[in-house]
Structure 1
Amino acid sequence: MFVPLRWLRERPRHLLVCERSHVRHERSRHAVRVRDHAFNCRVSFLIPDCGIPPEALKSAVADVGEYYLVKNLSLHELVTQEFINTFVKKGSCYALTYNTRIDQDNSAALLPTGKLLISVDKDTYEELGLQGRPSLYSGKKPMRYIITVDLTDSAFNPDSKKHKRVIWALREKKPLEFDFLLAWHHKGSEESTLMSYFSKNQIQAHQPKITFSTLRNVQCPILEYNKLQGEPESACSAQEFFEWLGAILNQVDLDNISSNFLSTYSCPQPGTVIEQTLLCTVTGFIVPEKIIHLLEQICCYFEEPKLAHWISLIVHGFADSPVSWRESEHGFLKGGENLYSFVIFRSLDYWLQMAVGAYDDCP
């Protein structure tokens, strides 16, 4: 991919959007924010002054649930009336193309709202003949387009011209085939499952990978829930804490000792040393409903007295997902940033920090 020289000289822009509220506040939007971020590949939580995983959190992590990888799935199979009636209209269905690069390859994503977003290059767009819009990252001469199909639209029925045209375009005019990650969240007992529905395809069930580890003698900033923006100056700012959290997750040395490295990093001040800190990481295709349940269990953790003053929950989205929050187009460009984190305090006040990369829309 060609990268203009000025982009190499410019400092990459990134956006960190911060909110502060209380989990039990009637206007709290924490659950809405989680639901808005549909495609998640990794969830971690960090508990200071804790060495043994709490049983409730272990159960919540174990209940994240399986997901599926379907090989060589024709895109038109996701717009059939049978699929829509069986999965899209009876729960939250998630589908994301696997091993596709959003800046180079065709890709697609099915949101739980029933919106199917298809990101295609110019040639594919012209061959399909479906209505779309230029990608936000195409520049003055669009080389990529986004097509949106609302599968729940009342006008999108088997007898409509729109439905027939979409089926014809995806099945006959320009067939598109991808490997898909799939997950379905629903209430009640349904006879149909993704495994049985796609039994004629190459489908594999996967369980998320779960790891627990205990970090020793962690240098940790002192947080105060009402000082998110770092005022007064002595408080740890949102940006400083977000960087510290990234350093912990990536096992960066916080000693700030001169060595043969070009740069060093030290813990924001004021800080303290935590003797033991529990870190749990779940990797897979994780739906927002399971993250909301985990967040609720974290809140329940503080119902009894604990040494920990706060717990952090960190969620990473796919760098190559065609969408980030809601239906906002996601662009890789320089870093593909697509993540958010909660800090839940004993009082159940929380910080929410949402990070997006260069030119992405504000969450």
Structure 2
Amino acid sequence: MCADLSRTQRNLLVCERSSFLDEKNRVSSQVEQLRFNYKVSVLLPECGSAPSHLESILNSFSSFYLIKKLPLYELLDKDFLQSAVYQGSVYGLSFRTRIDEDNCVALMPNGHLVFSLDKDTFETLGLEGRPSRSNRTSSRYEVTVDLRDGSMAPGGRGYLRLLQALTSRLKLQMDFLISHHPGGGASLQPLLSRCDWSEHRPDVGRRALSRLVHPSLRSCDPHDLLEWIGAVDASVSRENSSSDFLSTLTCLEPEATVSRAVSVSACGLLLPQDLQHLVEELSRPRQTPGLL
């Protein structure tokens, strides 16, 4: 057991404190790096209900599409490359694949097609790659292809090699989530027209809270603050006595209580552009203070 724990991946939490009023704050640049997002939550203390403009912003988030059993060679279609990959930011991610066990694929907004493959698949495809840096306990490999590179233009040497690998050597297919900014579904139409797909919108939820015990946001450790925010968002009780369980979670000291609060969230394939819009609205002086 000790040997297994020694191989557990280390985690790194980087925290920065800044103000929206500071012209040099790095919030925008950091949000842009959040390429694949599942959920965003806003915690509003001393509020009985969410402001209407906040819910309007969340309801305006971009749609995304679920493609069933997508043959990966379809991502190399020249019309799709021209209308979406070359023109703007495409966000695509294999759906319900486990990064530590399954073959996974991501289409990044910079035009990079990234594969995370098991050893057998990697060797069968015959693509250039390297051992995975995030999973050193098993034989996994990473392959990155820049679809905007000159050699990957339709008919180019690199393009034909990848196309042959995905059509002749191994016809990989998987369920795939995809979205595009700013063209949306119109830009994706060359791909969607040949596939079995369904359109989805982020699921917006709200939850009222009463007598919320919270730590001091200025003095507590960043790891502890992140844990507290996660516990509130997951509806984890922090009022267990020490005799109830072997392990308990209690609020950090010093603590205070707000009589009421509301938590508003959106779940789905969330684009950084939509998150940036949300952050900008929350930073306006007229907005109700909140925790994002």
Normalising by structure 2, report the TM-score: 0.92
How big is the shift at 1:288? 0.8
| 2:160 is the alignment partner of 1:164 | yes
Report if aligned partners of 2:80, 2:188 keep a CA contact under 8 Å in 1.
Answer: no
1:4-30 Cα deviation digits (max 9, x unpaired): 751247887432111122334343221
* 2:245 corresponding residue in structure 1: 261
Report if aligned partners of 2:100, 2:135 keep a CA contact under 8 Å in 1.
Answer: no
SS at match of 1:312: coil
* 1:289 corresponding residue in structure 2: 273
**Runs of 5+ unmatched residues, structure 2:** none
How far apart, CA to CA, are the structure 2 residues paired with 1:171 and 1:5? Answer: 45
State the one-letter code of the partner of 1:209: D
1:122-175 Cα deviation digits (max 9, x unpaired): 1111111111111114538x7111111101113321232111111111122221
What aligned pairs does 1:271-282 form with structure 2 within 5 A after superposition? 271-282=255-266
State the one-letter code of the partner of 1:295: V
* 2:25 corresponding residue in structure 1: 28
How far apart, CA to CA, are the structure 2 residues paired with 1:129 and 1:5? Answer: 37
Report if aligned partners of 2:64, 2:269 keep a CA contact under 8 Å in 1.
Answer: yes
Q: Name which of 228, 245, 264 aligns with 2:229.
A: 245
* 2:206 corresponding residue in structure 1: 212
How big is the shift at 1:104? 1.0
Report if aligned partners of 1:56, 1:297 keep a CA contact under 8 Å in 2.
Answer: no
Which of the pair is proportionally richer in helix? 2
1:318-353 Cα deviation digits (max 9, x unpaired): xxxxxxxxxxxxxxxxxxxxxxxxxxxxxxxxxxxx
* 1:150 corresponding residue in structure 2: 146
What aligned pairs does 1:125-204 form with structure 2 within 5 A after superposition? 125-139=122-136, 143-186=139-182, 192-194=186-188, 197-204=191-198
Report if aligned partners of 2:129, 2:143 keep a CA contact under 8 Å in 1.
Answer: yes
* 1:102 corresponding residue in structure 2: 99
SS at match of 2:86: helix
How big is the shift at 1:196? 6.3
State the one-letter code of the partner of 2:205: T
How far apart, CA to CA, are the structure 1 residues paired with 2:265 and 2:88? Answer: 26
How big is the shift at 1:55? 2.0
How big is the shift at 1:191? 8.5
How big is the shift at 1:264? 2.4
Q: Name which of 300, 309, 312 aligns with 2:291.
A: 312
How far apart, CA to CA, are the structure 2 residues paired with 1:191 and 1:278? Answer: 33
How far apart, CA to CA, are the structure 2 residues paired with 1:287 and 1:160? Answer: 31
1:269-313 Cα deviation digits (max 9, x unpaired): 22211111110121111111111111111112x336x5x4xx211
How far apart, CA to CA, are the structure 1 residues paired with 2:103 and 2:217? Answer: 44
How far apart, CA to CA, are the structure 2 residues paired with 1:267 and 1:12? Answer: 27
1:180-218 Cα deviation digits (max 9, x unpaired): 00111116xx88343564133110111211111110000
Normalising by structure 1, report the TM-score: 0.75
How big is the shift at 1:53? 1.0
**Runs of 5+ unmatched residues, structure 1:** 225-234, 314-363
State the one-letter code of the partner of 1:169: A
Q: Percent identity?
A: 36
Report if aligned partners of 1:90, 1:186 keep a CA contact under 8 Å in 2.
Answer: no
Aligned in 2, Cα 1:198/1:191: closer, same or farther, shift over 3 Å?
A: closer
Q: Name which of 117, 121, 128 aligns with 1:120.
A: 117
How far apart, CA to CA, are the structure 1 residues paired with 2:55 and 2:185? Answer: 29
SS at match of 1:65: coil
| 2:51 is the alignment partner of 1:54 | yes
How big is the shift at 1:71? 0.5
How far apart, CA to CA, are the structure 2 residues paired with 1:236 and 1:49? Answer: 21
State the one-letter code of the partner of 2:144: T
CA RMSD in angstroms comes to 2.2
How far apart, CA to CA, are the structure 1 residues paired with 2:228 and 2:178? Answer: 33
Between the two proteins, the alignment pairs up a number of residues equal to 292
State the one-letter code of the partner of 1:296: E
How big is the shift at 1:268? 1.4
SS at match of 1:262: coil
Report if aligned partners of 1:157, 1:163 keep a CA contact under 8 Å in 2.
Answer: yes
